[in-house]
Amino acid sequence: MQLAEAGLDTIIEKWERFFYDYCKEEIDNAALRFPEKRSLLLDYWVIDTHDAEMAEYMLEKPFVALYAAEAALRKMDMPVDPAPKLHFRVRNLPEGQKIGIRDLRSQHLGTFIAVDGLVKKVTEVRPKLEDAAFQCLKCGAVIRVQQNGTVLQEPLECYEDQGGCGRRTPFTLLTEDSRFIDSQKIEIQENPEELRGGAQPLRLTIYLEDDLVGNIVPGDRVTVNGILHGQERRRGNIKLTEFNKVMDANTIEQKEQAFEEVQISDEEEQKIRELSQDPLIYHKIKESIAPTIYGLDTEKDALALQLFGGVAKQMPDGTRIRGDMHILLVGDPGTAKSQLLRYMSLIAPRSVYTSGKSSSAAGLTASAVRSDEFGEGRWTLEAGALVLADLGVACVDELDKMDSKDRAALHQAMEQQEISVAKAGINATLKSRCSLLGAANPKFGRFDEFASIAEQINMPPALLSRFDLIFPVTDRPERARDTNLATHILEVHVAGEKMEHDHHQGLATLDELEQKVRPAIEPEFFRKYIAYAKRTVFPVLTDEAVEKLKSYYVNVRAAARESVPFTPRQLEAFVRIAEASARIRLSEEVTEADAQRAIDIVDYYLEKVGVDRETGDLDIDIITTGISHSQKDKMKILTGIIKDLSDREDFASMRDIKTRALEEGLTEKTVEDMMAKMIRQGIIYEPKRGRYKLTSE
């Protein structure tokens, strides 16, 4: 039988037979559980196995086929009365129906297709009028009009066939007698890993109805099965011939497993396993991160570890410990920070690259706004970079330029790795299980090694303390290093020129120089390696590793004179880094050597940013509060003096403060520096020039 030429009744009948033969039990179950369950949900292959002709017809003519299937369901005997109206939903469409958002064309309009994407926005759920009841204001008859579209359809007259008076009269809508259905609009965008070379992701609008609504949040990875159609566009009152593409969802499949989208063949798995046994694996991986960038060795080691990450732990008491490492690069302009971030976003699976000052409304975390443009007046929840990078790396350039709303939400996003939004019709918790790689520029242009990080970048210390590692990247003239760097950069350019030259001459030679700027591991394979490691390797600390970390932690703290060199937070950072180190070689065990690697890296970082320049002691307070222990002591002396003086004279003058401070053993320079710092931190203020008071009084 040719279904394409069959009448609607024939198709309905065919479905009815199919349902009685193969799905009666499921239909009865759904009917009994109505309204919690409101659909008959089938896998495509179930239909294909029993009725290949219908299955194929459904892909080509889904409007008719799905309509007929629901009509068939209405005709069936149901175990409950009145018979519930079930939807007919189909999932797991054949691979051939999967179309990339970028490849959607007019030929796909009206067909049943599957589209993969990352959910960017969702609107609040709103009731949508489906079956409207109008009352005639002349005769009182109730007239029903089926709604199918975004514009309200009113009766043209008081229809006689519905018992009306036949006149053209005004009507009033009876909401209590009308039937509404829940509706929601979402927007998905191309998955980042499908984008080549930093292209902007394309988006697709999708309409959901009834039991599909409310289950999806921004950041979800989904496959939407549905019908693509054109939506009319207008310019003012003029209707245009170019239509927008929108999709009506029939089913939505959520991706459950991490990195499902990264396909790894058996052969590739074999190659990954082999590479993991290479004694030079750490070196090769480091060499594969931005080979065109000279130096920054330890930084690249840290970035390699960040790509693999530690193990996230779900504890029996309901708490979760993050495994992702957060890294911040702070430094002079032109030191390849942005370049490194871009490179990382190319190799990290599921990564997102953005700038803190980007104009996107959703920013870094999430936003809930009442949107006319997308939401048609509804509240819309939109995912920011840290949600879109869930399970990957969020590379955020110019992190110091982020807006204040993000600043507040970033703590939760970094530590709990989720973002809660509660506003108007929207109440959601979005996942942000990603590593953050941030770059920031110093407030005063150049990085000052003798001042603390907290003072130099526009970020609150509490936020800084959420980073596992912070690296200052400085650019000071230094003959030997400058020579090497210049040689390297020039070589990179020569290699690039040669490759262009060869390319235009149709040659394909690779000399030594060209080989040098080539990553040791090709980016595509590198990504698979990382995805494989994160998906399959969950290393456990050995006793030796535990012992190593414990004694290091206890000994360094015990050796400190007065300052606190690090806190339990750094101990957790050690663990994450050691786990990542084991993961790099696909080891299920975190060994003593992994623990040592973690210690070396954290040491390197603390030596650079956590040392009190006056005493030479490690002091974590410099990072977490911006004030070292020795400074705090001096501050105490100064605040004591200021309080004392202002008790007597209502304020303290600089001259008197200095005189007293010198007696207490402080130098004039220290007094000036500390006073400036205390003003910046809001501890004291200057009501009149040269006169000071404590803020807390």
Footprint of Mg ion on this chain (CB under 5 A)? 338
- Nearest distance in Å: CB 240, ligand ADP: 42
- Angle 543-544-550 (CA atoms, 0-180°, nearest 5)? 90
Element (H, E) at 571: helix 568-584
| Closest residue by Cα to residue 675 from 644, 646, 654, 655 | 654
3 touches 57 (CB < 8 A):
yes
Residue among 120, 300, 337, 431 that touches ligand ADP (CB under 6 A): 337
- Nearest distance in Å: CB 526, ligand ADP: 20
- From the list 291-299, 346-354, 366-374, 605-613, the region that binds ligand ADP by CB under 6 A is 291-299
Give every CB contact of residue 372 below 8 A, 6+ residues apart in sequence.
none
Quick check: 79 binds ligand ADP (CB under 6 A)? no
Nearer to Mg ion, 92 or 338 (CB): 338
- Residues 190 and 196: their CA atoms lie apart, in Å, by 11
- Nearest distance in Å: CB 436, ligand ADP: 17
- Residues 416 and 422: their CA atoms lie apart, in Å, by 17
- Residues 436 and 365: their CA atoms lie apart, in Å, by 12
- Residues 374 and 687: their CA atoms lie apart, in Å, by 50
Query: Is the link from the previous residue into 519 a cis peptide, with omega within 30 of 0?
Result: no
Q: Which does 432 bind (CB under 5 to 8 A by kind): Mg ion, ligand ADP, none?
A: none
Write the interaction track for ligand ADP spanning residues 387-426; mark x where CB under 6 A is met and - where it is not: ----------------------------------------
Dihedral, CA of residue 573, residue 574, residue 580 and residue 585, to nearest 10 = 170
Segment 454-513, which members bind ligand ADP (CB under 6 A)?
A: 485, 488-489
| 334: its two tokens | 């032109």
364 touches 354 (CB < 8 A):
yes
| Closest residue by Cα to residue 116 from 97, 131, 98, 95 | 98
Q: Which does 417 bind (CB under 5 to 8 A by kind): ligand ADP, Mg ion, none?
A: none
Segment 292-321, which members bind ligand ADP (CB under 6 A)?
A: 292-295
Nearer to ligand ADP, 461 or 496 (CB): 496
- Nearest distance in Å: CB 572, ligand ADP: 29
- From the list 86-94, 337-345, 581-589, 596-604, the region that binds ligand ADP by CB under 6 A is 337-345
Q: Which does 294 bind (CB under 5 to 8 A by kind): ligand ADP, Mg ion, none?
A: ligand ADP
- Nearest distance in Å: CB 346, ligand ADP: 14
Nearer to ligand ADP, 302 or 611 (CB): 302
Residue in the structure block whose two tokens are 């995805």: 531
Pairing of strands 112-123, 378-383: antiparallel
- Nearest distance in Å: CB 330, Mg ion: 12
- From the list 52-60, 235-243, 251-259, 331-339, the region that binds ligand ADP by CB under 6 A is 331-339
SS3 for 81-106 is CCCCCCEEEEECCCHHHECCHHHCCH
- Residues 145 and 333: their CA atoms lie apart, in Å, by 65
Quick check: 445 binds ligand ADP (CB under 6 A)? no
Burial zone of 554 (CB within 10 Å; 0-12 exposed, 13-18 middle, 19+ buried): exposed
Nearer to Mg ion, 338 or 653 (CB): 338
111 touches 66 (CB < 8 A):
no
Q: Which does 377 bind (CB under 5 to 8 A by kind): ligand ADP, Mg ion, none?
A: none
- From the list 37-45, 328-336, 550-558, 579-587, the region that binds ligand ADP by CB under 6 A is 328-336
Total number of residues that touch ligand ADP (CB under 6 A): 14
Q: Which does 327 bind (CB under 5 to 8 A by kind): Mg ion, ligand ADP, none?
A: none
The residues of the shown chain that bind ligand ADP, judged by CB under 6 A, are 292-295, 333-339, 485, 488-489
